[in-house]
C-alpha cells in the first residue's frame, strides 16, 4: 500500500510499530489467522509503502512445480480483497466529505508469498555442505520470518564469520542429519504437532529449544 499522500492526513502513520496479531476467525476451520504489518518504509521509487500480509490460505504447496506455478500466477482477487479489508480495520479513518476509507485512495499491489516450514520447527541457519563454511543459508521461517528476518539474517552473518553471540545454541538451527524427519507432504502445523508430541514423550526438549519455541509462538 503506497501511503505517501495518506501521511499528510494521518501524521501519526510513520510512527506506527511493526505488528503481528490474530484479529478475526480464520477460514478453512482454523480458529484464528495471523496478520503481520510493517510501518511505512521509503523505497527506491521515493514512495512510502506499508506491507501487510496474512496466512489465511489453506493451500499447501507439496512440490517444486506447485511452488513455481503459485509464484508465476497472479494473486487471488479473494485474498487481495481480504488484505484490503484488514487495512480498513486497522486504519479506519474516513474522508469527512465522502465517508470513504482514506486507505482506499492509496495505490496498492498484491504479490504471492509462501510460508516454509522445517522438520524441526526452527529456522535452518547452517553452512552449505562442501563449502568449508564459506557459504551459509538461512531458510524456513516457519511462519515467523516477516517479524524475525533482521535477526535471522544477523545470525546467519555471525554463523558465516564464526562469531555466534546468541544465547540460543547454534545447533538448534542446524539441518538435521540423515535421521531427520522428512517434511515433504506435511503441512507446517502437522510438523509442529508431531514434533511437540515426540519431544513431550521423550522429555528431550532443551531449555534453549523451549525458549525459542515460546518466542516464535
Across 155-184, average pLDDT: 76
Of 7 and 194, the structure prediction assigns the larger pLDDT to: 7
Q: How many domains does the chain have?
A: 2
How far apart CA 169 and CA 176 sit, in angstroms, is 14
* pLDDT of 116 strictly over 50: yes
User: In the numeric block, which cell numbers belong to residue 132?
Assistant: 568449508
Provide the percentage of residues in the chain whose pLDDT is more than 70.
71
What whole-number distance in Å separates Cα of residue 217 and Cα of residue 208? 14
The predicted pLDDT at position 181 comes to 36
Residue 115, in any domain of the structure: no
In a domain, 54, yes or no: yes
The torsion region of residue 179 among left (phi > 0), alpha (psi -120 to 50) and beta comes to alpha
- pLDDT over 50 (residue 82): yes
The answer on 143 and 180 residing in a single domain is yes
- Strand pairing partners for 48? 42
Mean pLDDT over 5-16 rounds to 77
Mean pLDDT across the stretch 161-177? 87
Phi/psi for 34 (5° steps) reads -85, 145
Would you state the pLDDT for residue 190? 45
Candidates 134, 108, 136; CA nearest to 123 is 136
Range of the domain at 212: 124-216
Alpha-helical regions (H) of the chain: 4-9, 64-72, 77-90, 145-161, 188-202, 207-216
Rounded Cα distance, 150 and 153, in Å? 5
* Residues comprising the chain, all counted: 217
Last residue of a domain, one of 105, 135, 152: 105
Q: Contact 9/102 with Cβ under 8 angstroms?
A: yes
In the three-class reduction of DSSP (H, G, I as helix; E, B as strand; rest coil), residue 195 is classed as helix
**CA 1, chain centre distance (Å):** 18
Q: Which residue has the higher pLDDT, 34 or 13?
A: 13
Q: Is residue 131 part of a domain?
A: yes
CA angle 137, 36, 24 (to 5 degrees): 135
Query: Are 147 and 65 in a shared domain?
Result: no
Query: Is residue 38 within 8 Å of 18, Cβ to Cβ?
Result: yes
Arithmetic mean of pLDDT over the chain: 75
Q: Are residues 85 and 160 in the same domain?
A: no
Statement: the pTM of the whole predicted model exceeds 0.75 = no
Q: Are 131 and 73 in a shared domain?
A: no
Amino acid at each position: 500500500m503506497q501511503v505517501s499522500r495518506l501521511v499528510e492526513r494521518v501524521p501519526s502513520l510513520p510512527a506506527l510499530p511493526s505488528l503481528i496479531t490474530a484479529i478475526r476467525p480464520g477460514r478453512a476451520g482454523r480458529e484464528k489467522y495471523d496478520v503481520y504489518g510493517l510501518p511505512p518504509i521509503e523505497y527506491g521509487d521515493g514512495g512510502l509503502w506499508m506491507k501487510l500480509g496474512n496466512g489465511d490460505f489453506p493451500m499447501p504447496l507439496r512440490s517444486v512445480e506447485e511452488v513455481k506455478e503459485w509464484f508465476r500466477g497472479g494473486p487471488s482477487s479473494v485474498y487481495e480483497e481480504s488484505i484490503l479489508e484488514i487495512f480498513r480495520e486497522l486504519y479506519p479513518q474516513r474522508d469527512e466529505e465522502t465517508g470513504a476509507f482514506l486507505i482506499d485512495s492509496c495505490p496498492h499491489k498484491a504479490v504471492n508469498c509462501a510460508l516454509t516450514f522445517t522438520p524441526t520447527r526452527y529456522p535452518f541457519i547452517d553452512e552449505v555442505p562442501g563449502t568449508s563454511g564459506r557459504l551459509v543459508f538461512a531458510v524456513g521461517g516457519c511462519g515467523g520470518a516477516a517479524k524475525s528476518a533482521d535477526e535471522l539474517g544477523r545470525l546467519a552473518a555471525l554463523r558465516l564469520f564464526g562469531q555466534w553471540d546468541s544465547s540460543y545454541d547454534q545447533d538448534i538451527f542446524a539441518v538435521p542429519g540423515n535421521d531427520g524427519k522428512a517434511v515433504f507432504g506435511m503441512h507446517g502445523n502437522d510438523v509442529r504437532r508431531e514434533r511437540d508430541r515426540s519431544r513431550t514423550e521423550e522429555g528431550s526438549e532443551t531449555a534453549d529449544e523451549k525458549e525459542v519455541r515460546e518466542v516464535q509462538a
